[in-house]
Amino acid sequence: MSGFFIFNTMAEKRSDKKRGLTYLIFSLVVLILIVIFRPVPIIEESEALVYKGEISRIYESGQKDVSLEMKNGMHFYINQGLEKGLVLDSLVTKYEGKMVEVKYPDYWTLLDAKNEHKHLSKLSFNGEVIYSEFEKDQKD
């Protein structure tokens, strides 16, 4: 009878270790998914980082995104900008080669680990707001 007890206790310990390992792996997968798919933060304009520079190229990317490549190699994107009323040909004609001001959140995601494509929150040219996600710039 004591042999059965020892065998049963060892089997329970192995089962507990498997269960613990399963919980650990599941927790890590959930944590990684949260880090990868966390949304771009909604910030106040005063919290935004500011970049001023010349646009070398404006193009469509992703799911109707408008992307801007700056002369220094930085990239910004307006998430679903073409669905928000921006017209790519008009943007290219008016602003390619021009100096603009870009405001963007200090944000990192595992999907863009090198932080090469920054989410654009506001785009201005000579004081004119071309695009903005900030409430105070929204037109009624």
pLDDT in tens, 99-120: 999 999 987 766 656 667 898 9
For the four alpha carbons of 53, 56, 59 and 63, in that order, the dihedral sign comes to negative
**CATH architecture, range 45-137:** Beta Barrel (2.40)
pLDDT in tens, 66-101: 999 999 999 999 999 999 999 999 999 999 999 999
Contact 117, 67 (CB under 8 A): yes
pTM score = 0.72
The number of beta carbons lying within 10 Å of the beta carbon of residue 45 is 15
Distance CA 94, CA 9 (A): 76
